[in-house]
Structure 1
């Protein structure tokens, strides 16, 4: 049954309508509506959040490695951190480059020298950061001219120094992936005009990793561009390796058991127990016999780690004293005897 309003409720409703309070309530309801993020169907996400977290963790490890290498190479201290890991289209990365920038192309190879893709990994340093690193490498303080032009072109000597620094940093990139897959990276070539690099389609999905390098008097960005096809091949191999590892669990257990079978284990046999006075022990000599008070017909115990695991009987084998195992204590109660 519909609710019937009383006269006082009707009067209050009319007064609210005349004073404009109802409009304020309606506008407040509109502002509290839940907002949803718009999904771009033109460029859908290719990698899940878990994959992006994996890439972020890999490059976090990489920053820790190159931090020590840069400090040792340039004889200074710096702070390196991963600022962003984003999935974008390649044209968003290429549009941010200028004609004077240098782009490094690096090949990635799987184990056994199997090349993953023809599309390389792209690496870009900000010009001021690289010039500061070169100056420190040559013994300077790393100061950069504040009037440095936007389209600065590196000289041939600077390009050689550029290549030397980049090769050292790229060579350790594979170690950051070793927890997931065996990869190796190497510099293919350097391009002084990024607009001529067309190895990746403009609309192809890439993952951009922005790494900030901070010196005392200079800071800049080191950006990695990972092609989506290359990452898809890497993730597929990681998934296949995980599946193979789960399927080979029984084989691994057999290998472990084979190793355990060859290991040595100390076992002690207790023939009996008795009590002696210290005076009796003092007068013991070679050839004396101690009565243990243990009949030969009763079993003795074999101890492992201080607990009885087996019972057995005394005997001889090939003129040697031996114990014949009669019972195994599988439960804890039998081991507490």
Structure 2
């Protein structure tokens, strides 16, 4: 297929022909803008916003992991997030050697929401350095590690012990988004024989860099796409449920609040009237005396609910007891109780 010339190349060619000269070799250096190739065989499944959620969760995880390693190894460590990339599983698997240990982590969203398996790999120099420090050594990076190096049984036990510390804080990293539980299923040394995930399955690989006293290594976390689909579906459902409760169910919420408080006990009193009396007159009062309330005989009585006037009524009797018949509702309920 012939090469397609850019506009700048065409302009240079025309200028050279019109000028009677030859085309310079420098023209071919301008190939126009560089565009990123899109792989139609493996299209991206997760949007940038969803990957940002993973990035935020594992940035929290890195901070907590650093504190956990500081207390475990009794030395300062730096843990930082490098990349969060969507790839095929074979790209993660091909980067491992045959004898690399792979930690299988069971992630659960709840009884109804299911879960899946996450794979975590710690580079061999970093893991050997941490094991050496746990056994009382200096934790220096080994000078030479053969490509076919395999962990001993004791090292695998210590490997799993350290992995438990790394997995224990993963729940807290996700705490800002949802409640997830993580537990180690096993440490697999023959990852090439695993059949838990297909080689062409979409995964997201989280690369974390760890620096401990001159020793550098990486922690690679491989999250299958099926698990991430469940996680993001759960987050979308949670978000939509919150929005619906805040909007469409507002009236129902008000009704529920009223149903909850309508059984509360309130004091209801009726006020006949007001009178101003001198203390001397009160001192001289005796049985049979009459106090003028300064209100007509058939006037309305104020009915208070707690300290506010809610109703106007008429005094009367019912079953030989004093009673008040409600005549109207007071629309201005901010009137306070007056002094008798």
Tell me if both proteins adopt one fold, taking TM over 0.5 as the criterion: yes
CA distance in 1, matches of 2:65, 2:259: 41
CA distance in 2, matches of 1:162, 1:121: 17
Structure 2, unaligned stretches of length 5 or more? 1-13, 267-298, 316-325, 336-340
1:148-187 pair list within 5 angstroms: 148-151=144-147, 152-187=149-184
CA distance in 1, matches of 2:264, 2:76: 49
Structure 1, unaligned stretches of length 5 or more? 1-12, 266-296, 303-307, 316-323
Q: CA deviation at 1:240?
A: 2.5
Task: Give 1:230's match in structure 2, choosing from 210, 227, 232.
Answer: 227
C-alpha contact (below 8 Å) 2:125/2:142 kept by paired residues = no
CA distance in 1, matches of 2:16, 2:185: 78
Q: CA deviation at 1:157?
A: 1.3
Task: Give 2:240's match in structure 1, choosing from 235, 238, 243.
Answer: 243
Q: So what's the TM-score if we normalise by structure 2? A: 0.68
Q: Does 1:48 align with 2:47?
A: yes
**1:96–1:76 CA distance, 2 compared to 1 (3 A):** same
Q: CA deviation at 1:39?
A: 1.3
**Cα deviation 1:276-308 (Å, max 9, x = unaligned):** xxxxxxxxxxxxxxxxxxxxx9x99x9xxxxx9
**1:169–1:260 CA distance, 2 compared to 1 (3 A):** farther
- Counterpart in 2 of 1:140? 137
- Counterpart in 2 of 1:292? none
- Counterpart in 2 of 1:290? none
- Counterpart in 1 of 2:77? 78
Q: CA deviation at 1:15?
A: 9.5
Q: So what's the TM-score if we normalise by structure 1? A: 0.68
CA distance in 2, matches of 1:89, 1:170: 23
Q: CA deviation at 1:122?
A: 0.4
**Cα deviation 1:244-267 (Å, max 9, x = unaligned):** 3333452773555667779999xx
**1:335–1:220 CA distance, 2 compared to 1 (3 A):** farther
C-alpha contact (below 8 Å) 1:98/1:194 kept by paired residues = no
SS in 2 for 1:67: helix
**1:255–1:80 CA distance, 2 compared to 1 (3 A):** farther
Q: CA deviation at 1:327?
A: 8.1
- Counterpart in 1 of 2:18? 17
C-alpha contact (below 8 Å) 1:128/1:144 kept by paired residues = no
- The RMSD of aligned alpha carbons is 4.8
C-alpha contact (below 8 Å) 1:171/1:184 kept by paired residues = no
1:165-314 pair list within 5 angstroms: 165-248=162-245, 250=249, 253=253, 254-255=255-256
